[in-house]
Structure 1
Amino acid sequence: MGRTSTERLLKSQGLTRLRKLRRTRMTICTYNARTLASEASVEDLMMQARKIKYDVIGLTETRRHHPLHAAYDSGEELFLGTCDSRGVGGVGALVSTHLAMNIDAYESLTSRIGRLRLKRCGSVPVLTVFVAYAPTSDYDDEEVEAFYVELEKFYKEDRTFYKVIVGEFNAKIGSRRSPEELHIGTHGLEWKSKLESYSRFVMKRAARLAGGTSIMRTMLKTSLANAVSH
């Protein structure tokens, strides 16, 4: 049966052919810069980034006291937020040349959480990328918990269908302790009970991602790969 005949048959039965879905592959990375406070450190970042293939790089530990938004002649756009009064934190994002046209907005929501919004253009869907820099294990439980509560709030308030969270989570999550902990591998550093909030947060996201998209599941693995203290 030809295509036209098939479509006529479907139409006569009140059915329509679903459009073939297109898949878009994106490379979203995370980089703990340690500092991007000087021009030299920013120049070094750009030089190194041009050696790899990426779409978006989430940046943590900018340690800047003044924000920066730079659009380069080569097409990339760089957004850097500020640190807190103690000189800690600061997040940002670097967007590649071919994706720069998709930028809707970048906001530093706090000194530890940033949000990059990408608008639909071509095969790229509307997408929100959250960049997070969690407190280290040296911080009190209250500060660690407050960070995840805040991240959860921003995540829930964002109405974009496609959402990705990447960053430096400073968590030693240990190895898998039960079959349900699919977000944790079978090998890892020791478990730290005070970072239980990190595991709970990922488990919540994993429950939603299971019925979501492959790009989000991929980025979940990416965020976990960066969740080890150095």
Structure 2
Amino acid sequence: MAIFQCSTFNARTLASQVCIEDLMVQTRKIKHDVIGLTETRRHRPLHDTFKTKEEVFLGTCDSRGVGSVGILVTMHSATNIDSYGTSTTRIRRLRLRKRGSTPALTIFFAYPMGMRVAW
């Protein structure tokens, strides 16, 4: 059975194309099939395919400017994308098709609210 590598990355603001290209350079250092991106803080959603055949799905921040969740998919996994969905600005779902002996897979990425801790 193949090993599927799923990671998370705090992306901060991805408002411009330059920031997204910088993200692509940084994530090449991470061995992954899919990366969940937190704190994306975009005002417009984005779904883009890069020259490297990697795909990125970025959601929008909420009305308070609180960050959202995005997903970066490598070229090997991008060909197996079945669907992508959003429940809220902080929850994303990626569904991958069955490939060979690898079963279909649904991945949820959630970005939790900040927590207050009383000591």
TM-score, normalisation: structure 1: 0.49
Q: Distance in 2 between matches of 1:116 and 1:96?
A: 13
Letter in 2 for 1:46: M
- Which residue of the partner structure matches residue 112 of structure 2? 134
- Which residue of the partner structure matches residue 103 of structure 1? 81
Q: Sequence identity, in percent?
A: 58
- Which residue of the partner structure matches residue 90 of structure 1? 68
Matches within 5 A, 1:138-217: 138=116, 192=117
Displacement of 1:130: 0.6
1:7-58 Cα deviation digits (max 9, x unpaired): xxxxxxxxxxxxxxxx220110001112112222111111111233210001
Larger gyration radius, structure 1 or structure 2: 1
- Which residue of the partner structure matches residue 69 of structure 1? 47
1:181-213 Cα deviation digits (max 9, x unpaired): xxxxxxxxxxx47xxxxxxxxxxxxxxxxxxxx
The farther-off stretch of 62-71 and 100-109 is 100-109
Q: Could you list the structure 1 runs, at least 4 aligned residues long, displaced by more than 2 angstroms after superposition.
A: none
TM-score, normalisation: structure 2: 0.91
- Which residue of the partner structure matches residue 35 of structure 2? 57
- Which residue of the partner structure matches residue 198 of structure 1? none
- The count of corresponding residues between Structure 1 and Structure 2 is 118
- Which residue of the partner structure matches residue 145 of structure 1? none
Q: Distance in 2 between matches of 1:72 and 1:27?
A: 20
Displacement of 1:89: 2.0
- Which residue of the partner structure matches residue 167 of structure 1? none
- Which residue of the partner structure matches residue 14 of structure 2? 36
1:147-191 Cα deviation digits (max 9, x unpaired): xxxxxxxxxxxxxxxxxxxxxxxxxxxxxxxxxxxxxxxxxxxxx
Structure with bigger helix share is: 1
The one of the two structures with greater contact order (alpha-carbon pairs below 8 A, sep at least 6) is: 2
Structure 2 stretches lacking a partner, 5+ long: none
